[in-house]
């Protein structure tokens, strides 16, 4: 069930049965020579919607521009500053809390988002924590999960791409986007075959270290079929992981 | 051409031919008994992508949560505060400016966004305006257009829905979303047939005045076929309007 | 009745009879070769005080520096960034709410303020809207009106200045300030007679398009007598419009 | 010379002879049973304009709402939060710097503003101070002066009101406003004759300590004639003090 | 009693007997040729801990980086912008209020902090002041005291250093740090013997006026023994002054 | 070498040989029944100073209040909101950059800080990343290291405390503080012997899950002697790790 395709009355009905929601969150940033700028938003969106279709879990709209300052040296990247992103996550969360949602599961597609999302959680919790005990409003419970860290998914990706999975513009994530948008496949030779690795600092430094944008990966291995396998496995794992989140004390 | 499905190198190539981009911007908010929560994001997205496919104009990712505080009394609505939205629009715009974009055309789907978008433009321009004349960086040029105000589109909608077009959860916008997502159509009887009208203040007040969320509309007239006509006409008008923006001195 | 010339006890007494107030809001910005930098603050101030004297309506202090980034290329202009202006309008409004004011009518003298004022209204309403229904504090009700859009005033100005009224440094607004401050009249020949028109972007761009600051106007037609007619008519219209605001459900 | 009554070209001409400006800054807050809510804005405004008329010094628009949180327990008070006020003073100052002003003399009418104005100066200076030495833009030089601390004015007020001058709603400041607006005089018996003194904390605490708003004063002594003497002496002292500021190395 | 060396349960016990706390607050900034960068943090910390050891008063952690933009021209200086410092003081204060502290005594070691601390107090009080009377949470009571302004301390310092005490990098404060950290003494000849005086503006200007960082002082007179006398007297005065603060109505 | 005990000229000299600095960063928060509120600030401070004494590396002042909203249910905890902490880290870093520091190594004592510190790094890098390539200022390089994650330290702590090391109020960190402040040792029986584990959300939730504040630990095993071993080993590891940071390309 997608929030964007539901009416408010359908959400009211949903809330009678569940106080939880999954919100895909990603980034708009370069993903190397054959990867899509939308990769990090597309991956959690596609997996989450697949899971939502199968389970009836409510899937929110995708938070599609995140923390990507280090990619700004490559055209098409769009980034929020962390302080802006914290403010936006605060507003999204408080909007959902207004309606009675109590547990929000942020399903993340971009490693560079994790620190800012976690900081935003503290910013949101702080709204309750600075008050004396006994406040009568129910605090939100927030969770973040990177799709590639769902149980079983890391090993699946490693088994499909034993060499050249990498850590940015990975063979897996490019596969997922090719599955989602087969017409967007790009046939680009990689040089070097496997990209270098190194630390992530500012945008100019990033471009010097990683001239075509990839880190440690050979995404020329990506195919829609690999992507299909990952999406299906990840959607299944997501449903289980989210159920655990809802059930957690 | 969609930015989310392009690689950074494709954007580099695009920038050699054009310094402009269209960015759909909408909202996530209730749209009455048979309207989708994503309506205001879906409409500009669908029209812009249609235009992009036909013309090769670059279409950015959709800014999908906007200024919707007045709809927070209805479940599923997600809103940014204006101050947050200004910060986010600033970051999006400055990211695009980094790459050499010089003209950004925000293609808007939500009347409640217009003041905040316009204020954000001033916040962005101010970055240049507070400096002494002679600064050597090229200022951005920003434009906002509501899709229903494109030349010819208002009259088209009025001709299709001579009665009950309304101003929120309009018959036209619901039609566009039904065309985009036919499976999401909802068959709900409207009572009263045509919704009341009135001023827009805070969320509780809004809910009292407009109990099912609509303002002045009878969206039960919406059909995918009406939507198709609007999308096709609006995409054509968008291309022309955007060309005018690019060409403007 | 002017707030600045009243004591707090007089305001207490006033509040027993009315929960409303008119606050003039303007800008400090160039107004062409013969216009005053204070024009946009002076016009609503003079009209509002005239109305206040005749009716007993409480007139607040003038918010005299607004959103004028585009005029910063001309000496004397002082501008707030939109984000600063929103914060200031929030504080002004919440101060008045503290005392029991429930309806604030912002009487505006500057078109460039309207987006930011409207965005500020949403920022203020959001304070109530993010809370669950049932909060026990009474939300403010906010209204903005441009003086030249009061019923009958646009046509009056057009009848006085059938040619060269323009849209910035208008013949009408300069007349109002000459009526208010006859000693400040400036005798400057206009060249060209009627100023050009065009879009408003950043400050340097503005100065290139509109070299002497005017847009579309010939303010050399301005006289104190014309100003007097406008002030008297506008004050009368303001009283009626404000009464409608107070009475509105 | 008043900025609000000048044209931008007149300011250009002024800047050829001087890079300095005086900006009156005050507050909108209760001033006891017979004092005006605008007292702290009116006093520096009236004195500064008097000085400007005599000397040709440029007088900016009055910053008329300041830091008055402690007076919010009394109707009519309007306050900025310190963080808002710092942002506004930053924008005012940077606007003036844009035009080539190099020295801004803030002429203050409210003791409660002094800390925030001083903090704002540091915020503004910080814009230059965080940069490496050698930046090629010329930093602003900022000065604040309370009108009652101008040379000779404290002793003048003490000589006119040897008893009951007080520290809020003083006999002197009420006199200045009565001189400026004789029709606004209020005949109210003071009880007790001289108000209590004490610390200033939040608004509720203030109201408990100072039930009618005064601190230490008996403003029933105020007369327009006393006000005239103060204004004339203060205007003269202001001109000298400002000249010293302009001349200071 | 030092908060940093106490357990939370010990603080609970303390709160049963007292709702007050002393928090040292300083700066990290150049203090001339023989002064320590930590001087302004060390002085209040050492005096407060001495007082805490003798009296059982709770001493909070030291707020050790303050408002020092004007010293940024000298290596090692670390400064907060005033707006950042206000936010931090707000968070510290609200954290303490959460636990039931009602009176916070900020014991200050840096004159450049006083305006920003005072502005922060207003920002904090404003949290209560904008609300209608009758809010049921107890407002904080905040106090700032510069250590050199404690009763008797100014005259003590003047008697020890009748010449060359100065106003920055004073002989007294350097003595206090030498008493605290005798190994950090620096033997540097002063040239000129007594430093110049002048106004404080931005960092580059400061460095031009005060080439070695001192203002008006000859800190080569500093000794640990002088420091000991000052610390002991100031600790005694602090205990008395703080008791007065706690007892004040 | 401690920045707080150095003069600005000594820092100038240091900068001729090195552009790097270590800054301890911690938190002020409950650490269970026998742990000190200052634990997370004391640990990195003590280790860093030990390393600085042995190596001549410059050690900055300790950032002693961090992100601890989840501990606010226990008396004595002081927390910054993440947005405040990001602003403060920005100001500290930009101050150091002003003097020519190019690499800042934040030596962290609190797991709850890591997300916010990492987000702050992105906020700081963004200052360079949003600019076009070719900006001529040298970007900072920032590193964070948790002391317990230094090479060899995790295994050392595990060997000393094979049972009950835990994750908050650990036996190791309490030992370090007891070594630093032996007089602050607290003899408290733990009940249960080993504390529970669980997720970290807001403050009230934390207190319900972890009634005495510990997570998974038995800190009654802590001794000064264990602390000494950890400090000495960690200081040695810190020097090596920091050297690697300075040398890293």
* Cβ atoms of residues D41 and C72 within 8 Å: no
Q: Could you tell me which chains touch chain B, where touching means 3 or more CB pairs under 8 A?
A: A, C, D, F
Per the prediction, chain A carries an average pLDDT of 96
Name chain B contacts of A76, Cβ cutoff 8 Å.
3, 6-8, 10-11, 99
Name chain D contacts of B131, Cβ cutoff 8 Å.
98
C-alpha closest to that of A96 among A15, A34, A40, A165 = A15
Mean per-residue pLDDT, D33-56: 98
| pLDDT at residue F72, as a whole number | 97
Name chain E contacts of C127, Cβ cutoff 8 Å.
none
Question: Residue D196 pLDDT more than 70?
Answer: yes
F135 touches chain D (CB under 8 A): no
| pLDDT at residue E137, as a whole number | 66
* Cβ atoms of residues D194 and D170 within 8 Å: no
- What's the pLDDT tens digit per position in A6-23? 999 999 999 999 999 999
Question: Residue B96 pLDDT more than 90?
Answer: yes
Name chain F contacts of D83, Cβ cutoff 8 Å.
none
Nearest chain A residue to B15, by CA: A75
Give the closest-approach CA distance of A99 to chain C in angstroms: 7
C98 touches chain E (CB under 8 A): yes
C90 touches chain B (CB under 8 A): no
CA distance C103 to C58: 12
D132 touches chain F (CB under 8 A): yes
Name chain D contacts of B129, Cβ cutoff 8 Å.
98
Q: How many CB pairs under 8 A join B and F?
A: 7
Nearest chain B residue to C71, by CA: B129
Name chain D contacts of E72, Cβ cutoff 8 Å.
129-130
Q: Determine A/D contact with 3+ CB pairs under 8 A as the test.
A: no
Interface-testing mutation among A125, A131, A133, A136, with chain E (most E C-beta atoms within 10 A):
A131
Q: What is the DSSP letter of A139?
A: P
Question: Residue C96 pLDDT more than 60?
Answer: yes
The residues, ordered by sequence, that sit 6+ positions from F235 with a Cβ below 8 Å of its Cβ are: F47, F48, F50, F51, F54
Q: What spatial distance separates the first Cα and last Cα of chain E, rounded to whole Å?
A: 25
A116 touches chain F (CB under 8 A): yes
Given a cut of 50, the residues of chain E with pLDDT beneath it are: none
Please report how many Cα atoms fall inside a 13 Å half-sphere around the Cα of residue F62, on the Cβ side.
25
Q: Is F235 left (phi over 0), alpha (psi -120 to 50) or beta?
A: alpha
How many residues make up chain E in this entry?
249
Record: contact E41-F61, CB cut-off 8 A: yes
- What's the pLDDT tens digit per position in F89-129? 999 999 999 999 999 999 999 999 999 999 999 999 999 99
Tokens of B171: 């018959």
| pLDDT at residue E173, as a whole number | 98
> Is beta strand A141-146 parallel, antiparallel or unpaired with respect to B20-25?
unpaired
C-alpha closest to that of A236 among A9, A3, A86, A48 = A48
CA distance C141 to F162: 64
Name chain D contacts of C99, Cβ cutoff 8 Å.
75-77
A122 touches chain C (CB under 8 A): no
Question: Residue B161 pLDDT more than 70?
Answer: yes
CA distance D105 to D110: 15
Name chain E contacts of D87, Cβ cutoff 8 Å.
83
Name chain D contacts of F98, Cβ cutoff 8 Å.
129-132
- What's the pLDDT tens digit per position in B43-90? 999 999 999 999 999 999 999 999 999 999 999 999 999 999 999 999
| pLDDT at residue F78, as a whole number | 98
Name chain F contacts of E91, Cβ cutoff 8 Å.
65, 78-81, 84
Please, which residues 20-79 of chain E have a Cβ atom closer than 8 Å to chain C? Answer: none
E130 touches chain D (CB under 8 A): yes
CA distance B177 to D243: 68
CA distance B35 to A5: 8
Q: Where are the domains of chain F?
A: 3-247
Question: Residue D137 pLDDT more than 70?
Answer: no
Question: Residue B17 pLDDT more than 70?
Answer: yes
Question: Residue D61 pLDDT more than 60?
Answer: yes
Record: contact C204-B129, CB cut-off 8 A: yes
CA distance A71 to B99: 11
* Cβ atoms of residues B145 and B194 within 8 Å: no
Q: Could you tell me which chains touch chain A, where touching means 3 or more CB pairs under 8 A?
A: B, C, E, F
* Cβ atoms of residues C220 and C35 within 8 Å: no
Question: Residue D133 pLDDT more than 80?
Answer: no
| pLDDT at residue A131, as a whole number | 83
Question: Residue B156 pLDDT more than 70?
Answer: yes
Residue carrying structure tokens 């970051």: B91
Q: Which of C119, C202, C249 sits opposite B125 (nearest CB)?
A: C202
Q: Which of A34, A64, A100 sits opposite B7 (nearest CB)?
A: A34
Residue carrying structure tokens 């929560």: B37
* 3-state class (DSSP) for residue C20: strand
CA dihedral A30, A34, A40, A44 (to 10 degrees): 170
C12 touches chain D (CB under 8 A): yes
| pLDDT at residue F138, as a whole number | 79
Q: Which of B112, B141, B204 sits opposite C201 (nearest CB)?
A: B141
Record: contact E95-A132, CB cut-off 8 A: no
Q: Could you tell me which chains touch chain F, where touching means 3 or more CB pairs under 8 A?
A: A, B, D, E
Nearest chain B residue to C134, by CA: B204
Give percent above pLDDT 90 in chain A.
96
Tokens of D117: 């104005």
CA distance C43 to D4: 12
* Cβ atoms of residues F125 and A200 within 8 Å: no
Name chain F contacts of D129, Cβ cutoff 8 Å.
98
Per the prediction, chain B carries an average pLDDT of 96
F3-247: in CATH 3.40.50.1000: no
Listing DSSP states for C136-176 in one string gives -SPPPEEEEEEGGGSTTHHHHHHHH-SS---SBS-HHHHHH
Q: Which of B114, B117, B128 sits opposite C203 (nearest CB)?
A: B128
| pLDDT at residue A54, as a whole number | 97
Question: Residue B134 pLDDT more than 60?
Answer: no
Mean per-residue pLDDT, A199-225: 97
CA dihedral A200, A202, A204, A205 (to 10 degrees): -40
Q: What spatial distance separates the first Cα and last Cα of chain F, rounded to whole Å?
A: 25
Question: Residue B135 pLDDT more than 60?
Answer: no
Report the run of H or E that residue A141 belongs to, with start and end: strand A141-146
Question: Residue D135 pLDDT more than 80?
Answer: no
| pLDDT at residue D141, as a whole number | 97
* Cβ atoms of residues F117 and F108 within 8 Å: yes
Record: contact F132-B95, CB cut-off 8 A: no
| pLDDT at residue C84, as a whole number | 98
Report the run of H or E that residue A40 belongs to, with start and end: helix A39-55
Nearest chain E residue to D137, by CA: E204
Tokens of C96: 């008045």
Q: Determine D/F contact with 3+ CB pairs under 8 A as the test.
A: yes
Give the closest-approach CA distance of B80 to chain A in angstroms: 5
Indicate the pLDDT class of residue A138, thresholds 50, 70 and 90.
confident
- What's the pLDDT tens digit per position in F12-51? 999 999 999 999 999 999 999 999 999 999 999 999 999 9
B108 has which bridge partners?
A: B25, B146
E170 touches chain D (CB under 8 A): no
| pLDDT at residue A137, as a whole number | 65
Indicate the pLDDT class of residue C249, thresholds 50, 70 and 90.
very high
Nearest chain F residue to B90, by CA: F130
Q: Could you tell me which chains touch chain C, where touching means 3 or more CB pairs under 8 A?
A: A, B, D, E
Exposure string of E153-180, with b = 16+ CB inside 10 Å and e = fewer, is: beebbeebbeebbbebbbbbbbbbbbbb
| pLDDT at residue B136, as a whole number | 53
Record: contact F94-D132, CB cut-off 8 A: no
Nearest chain D residue to E124, by CA: D202
| pLDDT at residue C138, as a whole number | 79
Exposure string of E12-47, with b = 16+ CB inside 10 Å and e = fewer, is: eebbeeebbbbbbbbbbbbbbbbbbbbbbbbbbbbb
- What's the pLDDT tens digit per position in C37-59? 999 999 999 999 999 999 999 99
Name chain F contacts of D87, Cβ cutoff 8 Å.
none
C133 touches chain B (CB under 8 A): yes
Q: Is A169 left (phi over 0), alpha (psi -120 to 50) or beta?
A: left
Indicate the pLDDT class of residue C200, thresholds 50, 70 and 90.
very high
Residue carrying structure tokens 């005060």: E210
Quickly count helices (H) and strands (E) in chain E: 8, 3
Mean per-residue pLDDT, C71-87: 98
Record: contact E201-D83, CB cut-off 8 A: no
| pLDDT at residue B131, as a whole number | 83
* 3-state class (DSSP) for residue A43: helix
- What's the pLDDT tens digit per position in F59-84? 999 999 999 999 999 999 999 999 99
Three-class SS string for F160-205?
A: HCCCCCCCECCHHHHHHHHHHCHHHCCCCCCCCCCCCCCCCCCHHH
Record: contact A133-F70, CB cut-off 8 A: no
Question: Residue F137 pLDDT more than 80?
Answer: no
* 3-state class (DSSP) for residue A196: coil
B132 touches chain F (CB under 8 A): no
Q: What angle do CA F86, F88, F94 make, to 5 degrees?
A: 100
* Cβ atoms of residues A213 and A33 within 8 Å: yes
H runs (alpha helix) in F26-170: 39-55, 82-99, 114-129, 153-160
Tokens of F148: 């317990």
* 3-state class (DSSP) for residue D107: strand
Which backbone phi and psi does E201 adopt, to 5 degrees?
-125, -125
């Amino acid at each position: 069930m997608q929030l964007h395709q539901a009416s408010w009355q359908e959400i009211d009905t949903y809330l009678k049965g569940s106080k939880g929601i999954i919100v895909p969150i990603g980034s708009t940033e370069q993903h190397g020579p054959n990867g899509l700028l939308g990769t990090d938003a597309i991956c959690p969106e596609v997996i989450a919607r697949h899971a939502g279709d199968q389970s009836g879990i409510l899937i929110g709209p995708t938070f599609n521009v995140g923390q990507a300052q280090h990619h700004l040296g490559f055209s098409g990247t769009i980034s929020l500053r962390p302080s802006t992103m914290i403010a936006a996550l605060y507003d999204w969360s408080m909007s959902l809390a207004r309606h009675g949602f109590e547990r929000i599961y942020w399903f993340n597609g971009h490693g560079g988002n994790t620190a800012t999302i976690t900081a935003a959680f503290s910013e949101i919790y702080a709204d309750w924590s600075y008050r004396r005990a006994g406040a009568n409003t129910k605090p939100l419970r927030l969770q973040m999960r990177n799709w590639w860290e769902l149980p079983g998914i890391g090993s699946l990706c490693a088994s499909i791409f034993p060499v050249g999975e990498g850590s940015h513009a990975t063979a897996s994530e490019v596969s997922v986007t090719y599955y989602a948008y087969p017409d967007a496949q790009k046939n680009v030779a990689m040089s070097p075959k496997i990209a270098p690795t190194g630390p992530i600092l500012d945008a100019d430094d990033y471009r010097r270290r990683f001239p075509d944008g990839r880190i440690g990966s050979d995404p020329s291995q990506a195919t829609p079929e690999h992507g299909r396998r990952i999406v299906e496995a990840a959607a299944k794992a997501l449903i289980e992981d989210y159920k655990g989140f809802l059930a957690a004390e």
